[in-house]
Copies of this chain bind each other. A is one copy, B any other.
Amino acid sequence: MPQVRFLPDEKRVDASLGEGLLELARRANVDLAGPCGGKALCGKCLVKIIEGKDKLSDPTDNEFFVIGTRRIQEGYRLACRCRIVREGEVTVFVPSESRLEEHSLLVEGEILEERFDPAITCLRVKIPARAYGSIVENLPREFSFRLTALRKISKFSGSESEKELVVYNDEVIDVRDESRPLGFAADIGTTKVAGYLVDLKSGALLAVASDLNPQIAYGEDVVSRIDYALRNGVEELRTKIIDCLNKLITTVCDATRSITENVYEFVLVGNTAMQHFLLGLEPKTLAYFPYTPVTRSPMNVKACELELLGNPEAMVFIPPIIAGYIGSDVLADIIATGMFRGDDPEMLIDIGTNTEIVLKKGDKFLACSTASGPAFEGAHITHGMRAARGAIDRIEISSNGEVKYTVIGGTRPIGLTGSAVVDVVAELLSARIIDESGRLRELTDRVRMGKDGYLEFVIEYGENTATGEDIVFTQKDIREIQLAKAAIRTGVNILMKRLGVNPSDIRRLYIAGAFGFFTNPLSARTLGLYPDIDVSRIRLVGNSAGAGARAMLLSKSLRSLAYELAQKIEHIELAAEPDFQKEFLKSIPFSDRI
């Protein structure tokens, strides 16, 4: 009988001929994402075949298109496309990027193995019926007690019983018959909020949920939300994000049939503005140079004080702010990627509405933040849209202007995701339909004069789109992308200059954030978004801020590390750098692409 072995889970499952790897993974209880429903569209069920390639069906055209020939040759497949066709054993490696809905990191797992040391621990104890000294002195260790826990102990005293203490650091915060303490980590992004439910005894990730940050109603970017808070106070923004977190907490608890009362600790990360809104701090001095936060210190507050759902005694840890707009999410990135280890130069780019860049060399860390805007999320682009049904997410344009694309959900297209936007620009550049300055050249019929007087490239004609309208990419769209790319590239270049690092010195480039995860790194490099380094050194780490938050939830020593890093990292205020203007202008053309 054919057998499949899943790594790193070390789970085995018996298979029948004709069965698909995605179903087998589910039967073996291996988390493997498949949001597109097995249509080979989303590419999220990517696995690597370690042994037994010949026992599987051949790669499909679709797979070649989504994964690329090189990766197919390396053994990568889409699990949803692979069927068992021959007897024997197949060994499949499931990268953590392919797990569940969110993307975590391999490296996070390694780090936690060394550092598993949660602030919440449990201890089973006998409560004596008769004792000298005091009841709590007769427990096996010396603890301090929260009042509510002391009241519970007093209720159980008087007859011998066995209970479980829930301990936060050295303080008993609850006493129960049995406990299964849970933790909730969240990355509060300007656009998206991702929440993770974690078993604090085993460290296992139990459930993931995410939602749009409802503060979007007050402005898409950080600056307009700060502006809103200055005029109306921070309270509305605060309650919005708390409501959102509570919805996520309820979702992940419901999904695992847990009660929120079992949630004993939270780790929440976000950029500086998000941290201020979350805590209800007026962001007055964040509004002008030098963009001063109220505090940079890590916070430990009671969840009920923030009005978060959870155990009444639950605590919230919010890691420190590095400086200015560079918040705890960047610390979480650094922790999740493990880039705090080793001496070789490494760089992290967390691309979002605000993009944060960190460069490390030896013991030195530099960080900066740049307002790259929402263009990479599809906003401010004529036919840009979020990654939803009907969005083109991958595109190829040949030198004669022929266009091939995939659509999320397999329907007729409506518009372009941010990753497709990057593909479009990169492909148009490769086809020389865009020149180095970013100008569209009328080399094909698809380039025409649009209604508003700008040249535009037609991606799909109305007869083939869902709306009946042509999907186009305009000269103005190219300019938006150029400005966004220049903002990021300026930061990258200034940090490299400051530490005397050349692109070829960079051992690893971590690209964090959903945009980077879904974007073809070759396209992004063609665009000049990333420094000119070998693609093999690029690591797409997805929501590493969420992964870092989860790691801190499970490790007190990683919290200390976050504190040390926050002290150590030097913040570069880009706008205050003497060569900022020059670097920015230099970064606008596409001339630094390979």
Chain A, range 118-134, C-beta contacts under 8 Å to B: 129-134
Check: A485 CB closer than 8 A to any chain B CB.
no
For A299, what are the chain B residues with a Cβ–Cβ distance below 8 Å?
Answer: 147
Chain A, range 264-292, C-beta contacts under 8 Å to B: 276, 279-285, 287-288, 290, 292
Which partner residue on chain B sits nearest A282 by CB separation? B154
Q: Is the CB of A296 within 8 A of B133?
A: yes
In the complex, per-residue mask of A155-171: 1 if CB is within 8 Å of any chain B CB, else 0: 10110000000000000
CB-contact partner of A130 in B133, B292, B321, under 8 A = B292
Which partner residue on chain B sits nearest A146 by CB separation? B301
* Minimal beta-carbon separation of A404 from chain B (angstroms): 51
* Minimal beta-carbon separation of A566 from chain B (angstroms): 11
What's the number of copies of this chain in the assembled complex? 2
Check: A151 CB closer than 8 A to any chain B CB.
yes
For A538, what are the chain B residues with a Cβ–Cβ distance below 8 Å?
Answer: none
Given A147-B301, A301-B147, A321-B134, verify A154-B292 contact (CB < 8 Å): no
Which partner residue on chain B sits nearest A136 by CB separation? B295
- Residues of A within 8 Å of B, CB-based: how many? 43
Q: Is the CB of B285 within 8 A of A137?
A: no
* Minimal beta-carbon separation of A117 from chain B (angstroms): 23
CB-contact partner of A158 in B135, B144, B285, under 8 A = B285
Determine the distance from Cα of A136 to Cα of B276 in the docked complex, in whole angstroms: 14
Q: Is the CB of B135 within 8 A of A285?
A: yes
Check: A403 CB closer than 8 A to any chain B CB.
no
Check: A294 CB closer than 8 A to any chain B CB.
yes
Q: Is the CB of B134 within 8 A of A281?
A: no
For A157, what are the chain B residues with a Cβ–Cβ distance below 8 Å?
Answer: 282, 284-285, 292, 294
Determine the distance from Cα of A283 to Cα of B157 in the docked complex, in whole angstroms: 9
* Minimal beta-carbon separation of A237 from chain B (angstroms): 13
Chain A, range 14-61, C-beta contacts under 8 Å to B: none
CB-contact partner of A154 in B136, B151, B284, B297, under 8 A = B284
The 7 closest A-B pairs by CB, nearest first: A158-B284, A154-B281, A154-B282, A134-B296, A154-B294, A136-B295, A134-B293
- Can you name 8 A-B residue pairings with CB atoms under 8 Å? A131-B290, A131-B292, A147-B305, A154-B234, A155-B282, A157-B282, A157-B284, A158-B285
* 14 extra interface residue pairs, beta carbon distance < 8 Å, beyond A131-B290, A144-B297, A151-B281: A130-B285, A131-B285, A133-B296, A134-B293, A135-B293, A135-B294, A136-B295, A136-B297, A147-B305, A150-B295, A154-B234, A158-B284, A158-B285, A158-B287
